[in-house]
Structure 1
Amino acid sequence: MAPPDLPLLERDREKAVLSAVIGELRSGRPALVTVTGQPGLGQNELLRWAAGQAKDGGVHVLSARATPAEHELRYGVVAQLLTPEDRDMASRLFVAPQRPGGLPGLNHLLTACRDRPTLLVVHDVQWLDPASLRWLEALARRLPRAPVALLTSTTGTAIDRPEWSVGTPLTGLASTIELALPPLTASGVAAAVRAVCGPADAAFTEYLAETTRGVPAVVHEVLHRFTRAGRAPRAEHVEHLRALTAEVVGDHAARALSELRDPVAVDVLRALAVCGDLLDFPLVCTLVGPHPVPEARLRAALGASGLLTTRGGSPSGHDAVVRARILEEMPAADRADLYARAARLAQRVAVADQGIAELLLRARPVGAPWAVDTLRRGFAAALRSGRRDRATAYLTRALDEPLRAEERGRVELQLASVQMVTAPVAAERRLHGLIRSADTRAGLRSQAVDLCILGGDTRAARLAQPAAPGTLGTAAAARAPDDAVPRAERVGDAVKPSASRDRAVSGAATASGGTAPDPASRNDFGHHLGNTGSADNDAIVSERHELIALLRVARFLRHDETCLDVHPAPALPEHSHSPAVAGVRAWEHAVAGVHLETSRRLARAAFAPDPGGRPPLVTPRLFACRALLLTDDGDEAEAHLATLLNEAHRQRAAIAIAHVLAVRADLHIRHGRPDAAARDLAAAEAELPLTRLHPLFVPYWASLNLVADLLNGRADRAREVASRPVPSLAEECATTAYLLFARGVLARSEDDPHRARAHFRACGRWMLHYGCVNPAVLPWRSLAAESAHALGDDEEALRLAREELRLAARWGTRSALGRAELSLAVVCGENRAEHFRAAVATLSESPARTAYTRAVLELASAESAEAGRRTALTLASRRSPTADGAAPGAHAGSTQGPPAPAGRSPGWGAPAPHGAAPHLRQRPPAGWPALSPAEHETALLAARGLGNREIAATLSVTTRAVELRLSGVYRKLRIRGREELRALSHGPEGG
């Protein structure tokens, strides 16, 4: 009830009606007024106000109040009304025998009312005892003959409306009025806040109106408690207001529940609290079981309680606070049983899976197959809506049902794939248990280890390894992997380790690498398939081979073989039909830079179905995709990545989705599509936030973000990524080389060759430490050579460039060879144009479009410089010939200008030969500094004679973009077309 010391807000209309009724009563006109509404809307407060107004106007007032405690007390309300007139009336009513048709005291009251107008006020008529109700109905029939007004309040609905209500024939000529009180509006709630607390923020009043639903009693009590806490009604105190509102609403619900006396109504109320809006009211009543109470009476009792609202003519549940208060008094076992019965009923009537799953969350195990199926469908629906916490709750509940061992393992695996993002520690613990106990035939152990590696847990592969390392595979497993790669040589300032320390670095989402098997001692995967024995078809052998492959991956990620209690990782089995072994072996060949065709064939075999029908693993296939990237089969790798992505989406494996997207971003960067790479990286971070990313993968993701931002022209963001600290564990893993390389690229773009060379050298040392020799993985040698060339260390530059060219030629892909030729052309002092032409020819048939564009620009710059030198020599020979007619600059000993700086966009301004006249040296046009880098590149290609379509294909842009860039070039250079652009680029006399 609303506190009496507060005004009746937004009740002016009702007060005007009651004032008019009291005025007419003084003139002898009877009336019947019913004030109705949900509990807490202020009905009784309004009746008290009317009684006070009537007393002030000289009207005789008799009042009574019905309560649930006196519902069975005969004439309880009549006794309250008549006791002021006759003190002995109560005792006579309670002890007098009940006679049919008896209405004690009614005639005496009507006789007394003829001399003075009387107002009868009855509060809460929904709790009237039957005798008092019959007495008041008889009074209503006699009202036209006496100056009496009956003013009542009720919280009942239209179904249990008394017979004197509007539209009934009982009232005769008496005025019959029903006042339905609405909740407070937003302005009414704001007025209440001002009256109790003073001026308030709009956010505060809006939240109060929403949570209290405008019920005055709740609003006033919340505000009084809030004021007693000494807080101001400001937006920053909304959290405190939320707690107070929940407490007050819960108290009101508990009070209303204690007043509900009918046990059947209480049971139905609890069933409604369980089912909410899932089931219709008649179906909810069936959960209670057979009972004699009519449905209409149940609706009336529940509506009068105020605990439920009416929606569409049927009772409907309130918010979570009220439902919790309704159910908290039940024993836990009874509550779980009620939820289970409700779930069974909802399943029989085909309620939506989400609703049934919510019921099953709180139900005891039902022991039926449909329960697990429903929870798994609810899990998928929750993931689609982004509710990962709810999805994990559904699968956790599914594990409480009786399940077969294989089905239980699959549910745990599915649950762990989501918990890898939300609760990685719990996921690892669950997967470790699955690895220890799973059945070999189902492939669950391998899938659990695969998922652990995606989450960064490298211990899981060791956990699956038997005590003796040689028992994992065939005879080849007992052989140490020390004969895999030939002993390395010293390159630059980095030393390659010997074969006893062969290691590899990864660029896949698992970001790991491997050592290549000795080609003389091992055959390719196709040969293995032809020599497969019957033992390889056994599930135990297949699992062992998969675990060996995953163990190699774990070893690549983080080396712990120096520990005394850790056995060395066994070599991959010689003869295996496992696609997982093929994928890892393809990557090991690729990072070692040997056997291109074998690596390509093994990578393709990694995507073949397993002969034994075992489910495919994610990590080996990611390795295979990375191997295809290094073999210049990017389109094929992209198709396989799309397949992996669709598969991960079907399985709702967020961590697999994120890693596949990261690998695809790497592919886009290598193929000159940085905008697509940025989109994939953003999508990957949406699936797996960086705060949840395992430290082992932080350097790789950071490197991808850094390079993508740099290529997209967001240098500030790239610098921010480069300066971001990484966890300590991230500095000890294979992916560290990627971040070092990316930082070197950033330093190179900032014209800081000292820092760039330091980063590239560190990257090289780290990669060689892991046995990664192939320059196709990261071309650190070529970029370190260009940095050394910029610093004047031509000896080191040539040594590194030639080393990269030798290794790229051994590997044999166009991308690696073309990049090596390009770097050699940059650092060499002779025949630069010829070297650039060779690089352009090689890269034109490779997917490395960024390197190809740079090679074309460098070639244009070199050709422009050569043309300028030829022109200068020709003019010099005409003006100052020597005695024998030779030009001074034509002697072999003449000095030439330095080559264009490496790493910069070539253009006008290449130095002319020494001795040339100042006016003959090339200078950029007046508007050249105003050109953007994109316009700069487009202008050089157009000056070289390429058409718009060719320029668009070279720069990977649209033809329209080329047209717009050329228009900007013409405007800034103040020229009219390509002819003038060519004239500017060729220098004097068309040189």
Structure 2
Amino acid sequence: MVAETNGTLLAPREEPALPELDVGAVVIARAIAVLGADAPVWAVAELARMPVPDLLAGLDDLVARGLVANRFPLSLKSPEVRAALLAETPIGARIQAHLDAAHLLRGAGAGPEKVAEQLQQAGPAGVPWAAETLRAAAAQARGRGAPELATAYLRQALAERLDPAERAAVLSELAGIRAETDAPGAIAMLLDELPWAGTAEELQAIVGPLRRLLIAGGRHDEVPWMFDSAQERLAESDPVGAARLQLSRAAVQARLASGVASIEVTKGWLDERVKREPQLAVPLLALRASLATLTGADATKAVRSARAVLAEADPRVDFDLCWHALFALSVFGEPAAADAACLRVRRELAGHADEWDLVELDILRARAFRRKGDLRAAISLLSGLLPRLEGQVNRPLVASVVSSLAEAMVPAGAGESASALLQAHRSPDGHEPSPYGLLARGLVLSAGGQTAAAARDHLECGRQLTGWRADNPELIRWRPAAIGALLRLDRPADAVRLAEENYERAQACHSSAALGFAQYVLAGTRPLRERPVLLTEAVERSQAAGHLLDEAFAHYELGKALRSTSGEQSAHHHLLRAVTLAEECGARPLAERARALAGPSASAGRTRGLTPQEWKIAQLATDGRSNPEIAKELFLARRTVEFHLSGVYRKLAISGRRELTQLMRGRRP
């Protein structure tokens, strides 16, 4: 005898003795047993294949014998009675009865779980619509908080006859449910399925969630192996599917600026096959763009390849293909165009991407903002990502957002906040940060006056990157940061060596913007008389590229150099331009330094936008008058004075009286 719990036959139990029944009564009782508790009369009649009047007469006899409960809808007296009736039914007849019940309930519009209960009792029987119903039942069970039951439905769906696309979808859903309650179990299940997957659809359904689970579980080292294992299964039978898997693997490594050697192997594999498989041309272009971005090989070709990829790829199908292209544009492309491309892909992905993919796109947008010099936009975007990542277990993704945000906060004058941010997101296992994290930490340390520690972080960042051959001067600007620290540590020889290396790398990548910034960096290590020529070219190149903050720094250093070599008048224009650009970028410390060198006239352009009344109030506030005193002198209400001062602060992009005093000192109407 077998006992029943939640519709599933589980464990042996004592069977009650059933009374002798005529054939009609047995048929009715078995129909109720098959349908389970609360069976409607019409369904029992259909399954028993008898008219309703005959059924009702038979029911009264079963009630009198104590087998059926005297109530409606119909139920057997106890689970033990049900189990005994089903156990006495031959296996073939029992399976057929459950299949008939499933057909009957489905045709009547019963809920997916009701139908799925019958399919579970019947077992996999090749019913064409079984998998679809079981998946719908799993979604319903998951929605009402029954993940174990949802898992059981999907496991049965996997046992049905499925085409590769259906099987891939079921695997993905099953992994998602298992991951919610048992991530190690979900990983083990997917790893077990990996050797049996024979198509690109099945493999993608496995490696997508498996990649996320491995990363979330801190098992990053297994991700490349997983992609390699999957790719080997498709290398000959489905080269395009194999290429997609390899692009996903390359994207994981490129995000960490590692894996140049393995990406080159994949590129070689694609180079060999592209003539025989023209479909591989676009994946090859994507990989070339990404590889050039990592190594700093050729910016022009990288941008051209990236644009060609985005013109062909569908982000909903080939997200990693698009990511490689956007990665190249965010580093080498024109910043506004890179941002527009990221937004277009984001729109096309609406409803087809998970949170991780969307965050990856926003990180690339923030990089484009940072290259343009729009610190406010970069900080706003990245700050908005952190709440979205709360509770996320993708530590590399969180670390990428945190390091990018800290890097943007330092030139904006928020070094203390950046330090607190890095402190709050330290690796719990004590691991050293990625190269991006080392750069950010070094910048924060430098801003806090810890120059020696900053130099160590920048040089360690460079050691890792050059060891991986990811030495693009525009990707991670570790050399300029290290040079600044080395000069402050009175190590000019080391600074000169790095500046010359940086200039050579910029020349090699054929990027005018990179070359302009390299000239700015190199100028800082040259004798004073040599600096104006380098800095003038740096200004021109940065301006042409639309890199406003780079241009601001170059104007500032050029103004300083000209003050020492050509006098105040020739320097003044560049210092004023540095003030304007730095304020536009949100680089407050640079703006303040440039304003201090430019003198009182640096404030003229800003204060011209004030109304006469605002000017009077601003001047009185600068002289130390309180709001009530200003109100009394100008015969105004105190609230009117406060209103006008708020307008002054807004127009001058300052936060209060202290900054107003600094700005207005020496100015008269």
Alignment partner of 1:646: what SS?
coil
The one-letter code matched in structure 2 to 1:665 is I
List per-residue Cα deviations over 1:694-714 (Å, max 9, x = no partner).
xxxx34531323443675765
Work out whether residues 869 and 912 of structure 1, in 8 Å CA contact, stay in contact via their aligned partners in 2: no
Residues 356 and 603 from structure 1, CA distance in 2 versus in 1: closer, same or farther, beyond 3 angstroms? farther
Work out whether residues 587 and 626 of structure 1, in 8 Å CA contact, stay in contact via their aligned partners in 2: yes
**Structure 2 CA distance for aligned equivalents of residues 381 and 836 of structure 1:** 66
**Structure 1 CA distance for aligned equivalents of residues 566 and 667 of structure 2:** 11
1:664 equivalenced with 2:362 (yes/no): yes
Give the corresponding residue for 2:379: 674
Alignment partner of 2:475: what SS?
coil
Give the corresponding residue for 1:625: 326
Give the corresponding residue for 1:750: 448
Residue 766 (structure 1) shift: 0.8
Q: For 1:508-907, what aligned pairs fall within 5 Å after superposition? A: 540-543=238-241, 545=243, 571-574=268-271, 576=274, 577=278, 578=280, 579-607=282-310, 616-632=317-333, 633-635=337-339, 637-639=341-343, 641-642=345-346, 645-646=349-350, 648-649=352-353, 654=354, 657-671=355-369, 672-683=377-388, 689-690=392-393, 693=394, 698-708=395-405, 714-715=417-418, 718-726=421-429, 736-813=434-511, 816-817=514-515, 819-820=517-518, 823-824=521-522, 830=528, 842-843=541-542, 846=545, 852-853=548-549, 856=552, 859=555, 905-906=589-590
Residues 356 and 762 from structure 1, CA distance in 2 versus in 1: closer, same or farther, beyond 3 angstroms? farther
Q: Which runs of 5+ in 2 are unaligned?
A: 1-17, 215-219, 370-376, 570-586, 611-644
**Structure 2 CA distance for aligned equivalents of residues 349 and 804 of structure 1:** 74
**Structure 1 CA distance for aligned equivalents of residues 648 and 146 of structure 2:** 47
Residue 446 (structure 1) shift: 6.5
The one-letter code matched in structure 1 to 2:331 is L
Work out whether residues 455 and 486 of structure 2, in 8 Å CA contact, stay in contact via their aligned partners in 1: yes
**Structure 1 CA distance for aligned equivalents of residues 485 and 146 of structure 2:** 50
Alignment partner of 2:528: what SS?
coil
Residue 774 (structure 1) shift: 0.6
Alignment partner of 1:751: what SS?
coil
Residues 797 and 766 from structure 1, CA distance in 2 versus in 1: closer, same or farther, beyond 3 angstroms? same
Q: For 1:22-61, what aligned pairs fall within 5 Å after superposition? A: none
Q: For 1:147-296, what aligned pairs fall within 5 Å after superposition? A: 282-283=42-43, 286=46, 290=50, 292=54, 294=56
**Structure 1 CA distance for aligned equivalents of residues 653 and 251 of structure 2:** 51
Alignment partner of 2:490: what SS?
coil
The one-letter code matched in structure 1 to 2:226 is A
Alignment partner of 2:350: what SS?
helix
**Structure 2 CA distance for aligned equivalents of residues 347 and 447 of structure 1:** 29
**Structure 2 CA distance for aligned equivalents of residues 326 and 964 of structure 1:** 83
Give the corresponding residue for 1:367: 126
Residue 775 (structure 1) shift: 1.7
Residue 295 (structure 1) shift: 9.7
Work out whether residues 586 and 602 of structure 1, in 8 Å CA contact, stay in contact via their aligned partners in 2: yes
1:972 to 649, 657, 669: 657
Residue 583 (structure 1) shift: 1.8
Give the corresponding residue for 2:225: 459
Residues 352 and 968 from structure 1, CA distance in 2 versus in 1: closer, same or farther, beyond 3 angstroms? same
**Structure 1 CA distance for aligned equivalents of residues 85 and 546 of structure 2:** 69
Work out whether residues 326 and 364 of structure 2, in 8 Å CA contact, stay in contact via their aligned partners in 1: no
Work out whether residues 548 and 571 of structure 1, in 8 Å CA contact, stay in contact via their aligned partners in 2: no
- Larger CA deviation: 595-604 vs 329-338: 329-338
Residue 972 (structure 1) shift: 0.8
Residues 615 and 764 from structure 1, CA distance in 2 versus in 1: closer, same or farther, beyond 3 angstroms? same
Work out whether residues 603 and 628 of structure 1, in 8 Å CA contact, stay in contact via their aligned partners in 2: yes
- Larger CA deviation: 287-296 vs 396-405: 287-296
List per-residue Cα deviations over 1:718-761 (Å, max 9, x = no partner).
13344232487xx6xxx832332232233234332222221111
Q: For 1:96-495, what aligned pairs fall within 5 Å after superposition? A: 282-283=42-43, 286=46, 290=50, 292=54, 294=56, 340-353=99-112, 356-357=115-116, 360=119, 364-377=123-136, 392-404=151-163, 407-409=166-168, 411-412=170-171, 415-416=174-175, 436-439=195-198, 444-445=202-203, 455=214, 456=220, 457-464=223-230
Aligned residue pairs: how many?
Answer: 559
**Structure 2 CA distance for aligned equivalents of residues 853 and 823 of structure 1:** 14
Which of structures 1 and 2 has the bigger CA Rg? 1
Work out whether residues 661 and 680 of structure 1, in 8 Å CA contact, stay in contact via their aligned partners in 2: yes
Alignment partner of 1:800: what SS?
helix
Residues 815 and 717 from structure 1, CA distance in 2 versus in 1: closer, same or farther, beyond 3 angstroms? farther
Work out whether residues 833 and 859 of structure 1, in 8 Å CA contact, stay in contact via their aligned partners in 2: no
**Structure 1 CA distance for aligned equivalents of residues 97 and 78 of structure 2:** 14
Work out whether residues 461 and 554 of structure 1, in 8 Å CA contact, stay in contact via their aligned partners in 2: no
**Structure 2 CA distance for aligned equivalents of residues 418 and 736 of structure 1:** 32
Work out whether residues 294 and 471 of structure 2, in 8 Å CA contact, stay in contact via their aligned partners in 1: yes
TM-score calculated relative to the size of structure 1: 0.45
List per-residue Cα deviations over 1:318-354 (Å, max 9, x = no partner).
xxxx998997777587998776555433321234546
**Structure 2 CA distance for aligned equivalents of residues 810 and 772 of structure 1:** 13
Residue 599 (structure 1) shift: 1.7
The one-letter code matched in structure 1 to 2:473 is P
Residues 598 and 297 from structure 1, CA distance in 2 versus in 1: closer, same or farther, beyond 3 angstroms? same
TM-score calculated relative to the size of structure 2: 0.63
The one-letter code matched in structure 2 to 1:635 is D
**Structure 1 CA distance for aligned equivalents of residues 338 and 494 of structure 2:** 33
Q: Which runs of 5+ in 1 are unaligned?
A: 1-257, 474-538, 563-567, 874-902, 914-920, 924-938, 949-959
Residues 941 and 620 from structure 1, CA distance in 2 versus in 1: closer, same or farther, beyond 3 angstroms? farther
Residues 809 and 640 from structure 1, CA distance in 2 versus in 1: closer, same or farther, beyond 3 angstroms? farther
Work out whether residues 798 and 824 of structure 1, in 8 Å CA contact, stay in contact via their aligned partners in 2: yes
Work out whether residues 528 and 561 of structure 2, in 8 Å CA contact, stay in contact via their aligned partners in 1: no
**Structure 2 CA distance for aligned equivalents of residues 706 and 967 of structure 1:** 30
List per-residue Cα deviations over 1:166-204 (Å, max 9, x = no partner).
xxxxxxxxxxxxxxxxxxxxxxxxxxxxxxxxxxxxxxx
Give the corresponding residue for 1:55: none
Residue 772 (structure 1) shift: 0.5
**Structure 1 CA distance for aligned equivalents of residues 108 and 268 of structure 2:** 58
State the Cα RMSD in Å: 5.9
**Structure 1 CA distance for aligned equivalents of residues 366 and 268 of structure 2:** 33
**Structure 2 CA distance for aligned equivalents of residues 760 and 840 of structure 1:** 25
**Structure 2 CA distance for aligned equivalents of residues 540 and 720 of structure 1:** 47
Residues 870 and 547 from structure 1, CA distance in 2 versus in 1: closer, same or farther, beyond 3 angstroms? closer
List per-residue Cα deviations over 1:785-842 (Å, max 9, x = no partner).
2222333334433443443344234324465445545545666673878877765654
Residues 782 and 908 from structure 1, CA distance in 2 versus in 1: closer, same or farther, beyond 3 angstroms? closer
Alignment partner of 1:350: what SS?
coil
**Structure 1 CA distance for aligned equivalents of residues 397 and 595 of structure 2:** 40
**Structure 2 CA distance for aligned equivalents of residues 432 and 807 of structure 1:** 42
**Structure 2 CA distance for aligned equivalents of residues 961 and 323 of structure 1:** 78
**Structure 1 CA distance for aligned equivalents of residues 397 and 566 of structure 2:** 48
**Structure 2 CA distance for aligned equivalents of residues 331 and 597 of structure 1:** 74
Larger helix percent: 2
Alignment partner of 1:723: what SS?
coil
The one-letter code matched in structure 2 to 1:598 is K
